[in-house]
Every structure is written in structure tokens, then in C-alpha cells.
Amino acid sequence: MNQFSKIGFTLAAAGSAVGLGNIWRFPYVTGEYGGGAFVIIYLIAIVFIALVMFLAEVAIGQYSQKDISTSFVKISKSKNKVWGIGGFPAITSLIVLSFYSVVLGWVLSFFVKSFTYLPENAKIAKENFTSLMSGDVGMLIFYHTIIASIVVFIVLKGIIEGIERANLILMPLLGLILIGLFVYAFNLESFPKAVSFMFSPDFSKINNEAVLAALGQAFFTLSLGMGTIMTYAASLPKENNIVKSSINIALIDTIIAIVAGLIIFSFLFEAGAKSSAGPGLVFISLPVIFNSWGVLGHIIAVAFFIALLFAGITSAISAIEPTLKIFVEKFGMTRVKATVIGGLIFYFFGILAILSMSKIYGEHLTFFGKNLFDWMDFGTSSILMPIGAIFVSIFLGFFVEKKILEDIFLRFLNKSIFNFWYFLLKFIVPLVIVIIFLNKLGIIGDS
Ligand code: PHE
């Protein structure tokens, strides 16, 4: 039987959750919104919104033990085949994977370069980054190809031999590297400054947009709305305590985001750099700081980028799994055939994403002022993921017998906590998602 062991599931789902979102995105978004207060709102969003959704996805997966499309039909009140449309998040995760693999290609290229080269100042660092993005198509395709091959190689081997084993190796290594980097950061003079930046709240810096960014980040980081968690949970034996696993996964994810933040802000403050550099924080600001630390800087840089790579690969392999499971279980393909087809799809769209950022081909792949890469990012995180999440919450809240959910959860939760979860899932989560959704589409307040 191809099922996760208990620790295997927790590690694999944590591997999916912990990714570029934690180490690259969380620190720069926190920096942009001024630190402490943003972190508090983020933590509230994790506990009361994202964890609630996470439990919902795990419950559907574990109950049904099927691909996501079939899962919805199986757990629904009506058993109507129409619920099979719930399988659409597989498309979302495949699109995410297309550009995620490209970004992991950047990380890989920074990892390789850091052995011998680090930029001297911010201007050079910025030039390097932009010229890689816009001019070096061959190089980017080369690195994307390596990442795509690694992902395909791992998932080809299936749940236990591939996914569980990769996580069993990569996650502890990631933990060790982060501990090493943390110990180094802890001994820097600027460490207390990083702590106070991240934990002393200044609520005057918080506006609508910051609250919505915190919510969006909470969803993205727990891999919600994409069928990923549901798919992994479908390979989780029924007797496993999903409440305990889910809490552990959210805890691991949150601790790693906070630790990554403390490391990166200590580095930035030590060099007197700004905390609000945006997406270039990791690819532009950090390499310059590493350069100023001489040989040690190269070692730290290599360790940092490999940590980012490990975190990202364990997320990437989770993103292809919903599609593979549908191909295999619903369309009857072999795992090899499913992997080859799924792999070719995201590889091809990744190449288009790369071309869309280049000087030469960019204009042919730019539509309504956004290139394809940006469309993939925007379309998934702002449109498809929220729709996927709201579908799950409304579906479970209104189209599934409450009794089934009680049978699943009352083994692990007392009744009043269960009822609180159910209330949040049925009413609060959809409301919050609608608000995020409308805001991201620019329909309500962007002040
Ligand atoms: N949770 C991942 C991160 O934080 C993002 C992701 C979601 C990746 C789903 C793959 C699939 O980076």
C-alpha cells in the first residue's frame, strides 16, 4: 500500500508548507509592512483562518482516500458527480509549480554562483539580477530544467520511496542549516534589533492592505486552496490523529518563518541595510551583505541558498501530486505516464514564463500589461487559490453531513472546540476569503 507513515505525512505536509513562502516571501512582506504588528496579525490569521482550512482539507483527504476530484463526490451529501469539479485546484497547483520551478532555478543559480562570486554593492547586485532575468534565457532554462528533472525524478518513485523519503532527508537537513544560520545570526550585534523589529508591534503601521497581506501569506504558506494538502492527506491512514498532525505542521511552518525572519533581519541590520527592500531582499540585498563578510560570507551564502532550495523542492513535489493522482486514479494512467505528462506541462509553461520576462520574447508573452510570469503568479494567488479555498469551506459547511465531520473530528477534539472550528469554517473563513478576493482584484479598498 502506498501510504505515508505518521511521521512521513507530517514531514511531507510540512515540506509542502515550508517553502519560498517562508524564507523568501515572509521576511520581505514583514519588512514591507513594518514588522511586529504585521507578525501578530499573521499569527492570528494562521491560527483562526489558515489552520481551520488546513484541518478541513486534511479531513476531506483522509476521509476519502481518493484523488481530489473523487474526494468531493465521495464525502458530499448528495454524491452527485457534479462535485467532481472540485478537482480544478489541480490546475492551480500545476500553474504554481510552473513559475515556482523557475524561481527555484534562480535560487539554484545563486547557489552555484555564491561559491565563487558575490556582488560588491547594491547597484551591481541589482544589475546582475535584472540581466539574469531579462537577458539570460538559456541559463534560466538550463536551471529550470534541472529543477524540473529533480521534481519529476522524486515523484516518479511514488509516495513512500519518492515523496516521503525526499522529505525525510531534506527537511532535517533544512532544519540543521537553519539552526546553523540562526546561531550565527544570534551572535551578531544586531540580533536584538531583529527581535524587536519582529516582535514589538507598532499598530500605526497597520492598514487594510497589511491585514490582507497577512491573510494571503497565511494561505500561501500552508499550501491551501490548491488541493495539495488534500492530496497528501488522501495517503494518510485513517486512524492517524489529523488534529495533532495539522497543529504540528502549522507550528513547524510558523517557527521556520519566524526563524528565517530573525536570520535575515539580523543580517540586514548588521549591514545597516533597509528592511523594506521587497522581493529583491533575498536576491539583491543579502548577496551584497555576504560579500562584505569575506570567505565566511561565501559559506553563509551557500548555506542560505541551499536551505532555500531544499525548502522549495519539498514544496514543488507537493504541487504536482494533485494532478498525478487525478491522472492515475481517475484517468487510469500509470504513474510513469502521469508523471511524464504532468512534468511536461509544467516544464513547458515554466519555459513560457521565462521567455515572458526576457527582453527578446517578452512583448509576445505580455497581455494587458502583465507578462505571463506575473499572470501566473497573480492568477493563482489572487484568483484561483481563493476560489479553491472558498469552495472547500462552503462545500464542507453546507454540502456535507455534519455527522460525517463529527465522526472524523470527535475522535480527536472535544465537542465545543469542534463546534467552534465548524462555525469558523462555515461562516468566518468564507467571509474573510471574499474580502481578500475582492481586495486583490482591486474591487475594495487598497488604502
Ligand atoms: N507553501 C509553499 C511555500 O510557502 C507554497 C506552495 C504551495 C508550494 C502549494 C507548492 C504548492 O512556499
14-42 pLDDT tens trace: 999 999 999 999 998 999 898 999 999 99
As a whole number of angstroms, the distance between CA 149 and CA 154 comes to 9
Ligand 1 centroid distance, CA of 214 (Å): 15
| 346 CB near ligand 1 (under 6 Å) | no
Is the model's pTM score more than 0.75?
yes
**Contact call for residues 225 and 57 (beta carbons, < 8 A):** no
Place 251 in a pLDDT band, splitting at 50, 70 and 90.
Answer: very high
The set of residues, in sequence order, having a beta carbon less than 8 Å from that of 68 and lying 6+ positions away, is 61, 86, 87, 89, 90, 227, 230, 231, 234, 322, 325, 326
Closest protein CA for atom 8 of ligand 1: 315
Q: Residue 445: what pLDDT?
A: 62
| Any ligand 1 atom below 6 A from CB of 226 | yes
275 lines ligand 1 (CB under 6 A): no
- Ligand 1 proximity of 107 Cβ (cutoff 6 Å): no
Picking from 50, 58, 62, the residue whose alpha carbon sits closest to that of residue 21 is: 50
Q: Check if 178 has its Cβ closer than 6 Å to any atom of ligand 1.
A: no
CA of 311 to the centre of ligand 1 (A): 9
Q: What mean pLDDT do residues 83-94 have?
A: 94
Distance (Å, rounded) from C-alpha 114 to C-alpha 219?
Answer: 32
Range in 60-64, 187-191, 259-263, 365-369 the model is least confident about: 365-369
Q: What mean pLDDT do residues 45-59 have?
A: 96
> What pLDDT score was predicted for residue 447?
46
Ligand 1 centroid–CA 272 distance in Å is: 31
Report how far residue 212's alpha carbon sits from residue 400's, in angstroms, rounded to the nearest whole number.
Answer: 29
Q: Are 323 and 90 in contact (CB under 8 A)?
A: yes
For ligand 1, the distance from its centroid to the CA atom of residue 123, given in whole angstroms, is: 31
What number of CA atoms fall less than 13 Å from residue 235's CA on the CB side? 25
Task: Give the residue whose CA is nearest to atom 6 of ligand 1.
Answer: 223
Q: Characterize 218-253 residue by residue with b for buried, 16 or more Cβ atoms within 10 angstroms of its Cβ, and e for exposed.
A: bbbbbbbbbbbbbbbbbbbeeebebbebbebbbebb
The model's confidence at residue 223, banded by pLDDT at 50, 70 and 90, is: very high
Going from the Cα of 121 to the center of ligand 1, the distance in angstroms, rounded, reads 31
17 lines ligand 1 (CB under 6 A): yes
State whether the beta carbon of 231 lies less than 6 angstroms from ligand 1.
Answer: no
Average pLDDT value for residue range 130-139: 87
Verify whether ligand 1 is closer than 6 Å to residue 393 (CB atom): no
Q: Hey, whose CA ends up nearest to atom 9 of ligand 1?
A: 223
Q: Choose the residue to mutate in 51, 220, 313 for probing ligand 1, maximizing ligand atoms within 8 Å of C-beta.
A: 220
Mean pLDDT for 414-418 is 95
Is 184 in contact with 276 (CB distance < 8 Å)? no
Ligand 1 centre and the CA of 62: distance in Å? Answer: 20
Q: Is 159 in the pocket of ligand 1 (CB under 6 A)?
A: no
Q: Please name which of 309, 337, 229 lies closest in space to residue 4, comparing C-alpha atoms.
A: 229
Here the cell at position 411 is 475522535
**Probe residue for ligand 1, chosen from 255, 318, 377 as the CB with the greatest number of ligand atoms within 8 Å:** 318
Q: How far is CA 173 from the centre of its chain?
A: 19
| Mean model confidence pLDDT for the chain | 92
- Give the pLDDT mean for 169-180: 95
Helix axes 51-64, 68-75, angle to 10 degrees: 90
Q: Which of 104-118, 243-257, 349-363 has the lowest mean pLDDT?
A: 349-363
